[in-house]
Structure 1
């Protein structure tokens, strides 16, 4: 009588669930923190206006134009950014996005004229372009569609957290650091909220694997289990070609766009 000593090729459901809990804890808290930093760097301009507009003699029109140019850069570079992400890998490109936007956000403290303000805001939008869709694309390489909605919801917690933290934190910085070492409160705001993005970008190189295969914290059995689920999901998702109009007229897409419009 022969006794089997090898482990079964297919892991039980409870084992697979444990694998995905491990992946979730390894990826989502860090990505959520990155999203929080991204949104802080996006919304702090509105709070900086309290001091910045008068210091730089910016009119309401000039300030509004500068703030809006962020989204021009964001829209123009979002698709190219994600095309590059697919070529070079998530770890390198998401790190590049975060480091670049952190440096540009910090550089806002050097602005002295309206034109400099316009340029920095446009470049900041271009630098940050692709982060959110890039992360969502990255998650498709780890989680099959039937697990993804919960994971994306956990990741998106960074958005309300940034709104909750951003106002009090920015107000505290501007109130307590005003004129420290000769810098105005709004200059300290961009400095102290921009540097964390740079640091998180550097940390991405160590904390964010490019793929399941490169995750050193997964065993070979665990990697195979995840790849089987992803392969099954990909097979089920294959279908006919779709037109752009199909997506734009899809009621779910319209509802999602409407729900996120107030945050723009």
Structure 2
């Protein structure tokens, strides 16, 4: 089939390629995006449950911060094995398994009564979800070459801010409308209702998601050939190191450090945005939910704009660094204007938009260095180490709030981490980070 594709004229091949990528994008990205919306909603809805759960169960801020963060211990331990298993058994079955198990465990959060139960459920939720995000990042490398990858990553990863745009008002409405219904508290209804989409999408995944280009029966033979040829060319020249050697690769560790800084910002925002908005003077749960949609809506546009610009210009380091530093400034000024709702929302919007704009650009880096099983291990390792920030960030903020009765000190730490990430990104060799992007820009 590849012989057919390579025998076409340049214009005919370009037309065939455009049609094939349009089909692949329309078939895969909307569905993967919906899955990520559901996943992220189940991961962070504890931030809304917190508004009533803590008083109902008499949990301290420290208990909440530890419980919110312990999710990432399970996530860390099982991330790399999960990604390697997906590479072996295929995305269709493995992604469906992840979604179905996390939906059940997320719903089970409604039965929590003690801190220990809270910790156990959050840990198990991390174990269940481990591998979903890096699995999809890896899966996209099977379909799209490096020159297209920032944009494809962005179309998938805008699931994070869209989950905030939709999830904030939805969570606020559930808390306001379901309190006391059938003897359950509103936070219990929150966990149950928001687990349903993940379960439904997990079942659909078993029938919808092809494991590879070759398995996509909605492409013609010619379209499959041209996509496979592009991936073959994209993989040429990349390292196929052993999985074990990935853990001794200094460049991979540097990327893990950069991603850790990013995740400090993401989870500082995700787990505490409702709290920060409430502290600015907004008391009604539905109003808090509606206002949380604003920073995430800004992030949708920033992610798409920065990713498109990075691919078009063949430049990723400065795109990442500028977005990361802008996020640090936004998070810092959110504390300066903490008692002023409009200015606090503006600062939080800049913080969220900058932070989330770094992600699709960043995830084009690891696949520019490695391929195959080593890429699966590297992506899993970077994501698992980076997501340890999901344990560190809420734990620090929760502990500092108990000590100082303010989230300001914790947010200063998060802002400093984002600034450090910008500096570390500029230490990456531009020939590696930008090389493949420039080749196909």
Calculate the TM-score normalised by the size of structure 2: 0.55
Residue in structure 1 matched with residue 274 of structure 2 by the alignment: none
Stretches of structure 1 lacking an aligned partner (at least 5 in a row): 1-5
Counterpart CA distance in 2 for 1:254 and 1:74 is 17
Deviations 1:214-244 (A, max 9, x none): 1110111111111111111111435888752
Range that drifts further, 165-174 or 59-68: 59-68
Is 1:247 the counterpart of 2:252? The answer is yes
1:237 counterpart SS class: coil
Range that drifts further, 219-228 or 254-263: 254-263
Q: Mark the CA change 1:76 to 1:107 in structure 2 (over 3 Å): closer, same or farther.
A: same
Q: Mark the CA change 1:239 to 1:213 in structure 2 (over 3 Å): closer, same or farther.
A: closer
Range that drifts further, 49-58 or 233-242: 233-242
CA offset at residue 256 of structure 1?
Answer: 5.1
RMSD: 2.1
Counterpart CA distance in 2 for 1:25 and 1:18 is 11
Residue in structure 2 matched with residue 19 of structure 1 by the alignment: 20
- Map of 1:215-226 to 2, 5 A cutoff? 215-226=216-227
Stretches of structure 2 lacking an aligned partner (at least 5 in a row): 268-441
Counterpart CA distance in 2 for 1:187 and 1:68 is 20
Counterpart CA distance in 2 for 1:217 and 1:88 is 22
* Count of equivalent residues: 257
Is 1:149 the counterpart of 2:154? The answer is no
Deviations 1:76-130 (A, max 9, x none): 1111111111121111111111111111000101112222111100000111111
Is 1:85 the counterpart of 2:86? The answer is yes
Deviations 1:19-74 (A, max 9, x none): 10110000001101111111111111011012111222222222222111111111
Residue in structure 2 matched with residue 113 of structure 1 by the alignment: 114
CA offset at residue 247 of structure 1?
Answer: 2.6
Deviations 1:179-222 (A, max 9, x none): 22222100110011111101111110122101111111011111
Q: Mark the CA change 1:141 to 1:239 in structure 2 (over 3 Å): closer, same or farther.
A: closer
1:211 counterpart SS class: coil
Range that drifts further, 106-115 or 184-193: 106-115
Counterpart CA distance in 2 for 1:7 and 1:38 is 38
1:12 counterpart SS class: helix
Name which of 242, 258, 261 aligns with 2:261.
258
Calculate the TM-score normalised by the size of structure 1: 0.90
Q: Mark the CA change 1:105 to 1:231 in structure 2 (over 3 Å): closer, same or farther.
A: same
